[in-house]
Structure 1
């Protein structure tokens, strides 16, 4: 009986010792994570800021050509859709 209690107290001490070691290691890992977060920069400058060298302008011809092509393609689509519907109805 005494031998069982002795072994139980020994296992309890070993368990509490290992538990203290584990909690100490977890605490040191948390401290290291916090120190890394504090040391790491929040923003990283990849390239310094500079003003644009010239102003980009879009030519009105390209805009007008895009509008005309969109209008033509839209009309072709409407024509083909109406033709398809009329063929399916007959």
Structure 2
């Protein structure tokens, strides 16, 4: 599966989130990553990120793109902004 991951986290946790994301994906912007992951890698990435963020304050958006199907979005932490067209 192909993933786009973007995050908005408190400054104290940025470096930790950055290092975790770099282990699995390619950095394309300061807080945006993309790349292919297996289901196991995806599970490990989510687990590692959940350990370092404050889910009541921080936000991490996973856009999941499977071949032949519509994109899917998973949010870890606080949803921010207006409702997106991708569910």
Q: TM-score, normalised by structure 2?
A: 0.20
* Larger RCO of the pair (alpha carbons < 8 Å, separation 6+): 2
Higher-Rg member (1/2): 1
Q: TM-score, normalised by structure 1?
A: 0.20
Q: Higher helix proportion, which one? A: 1
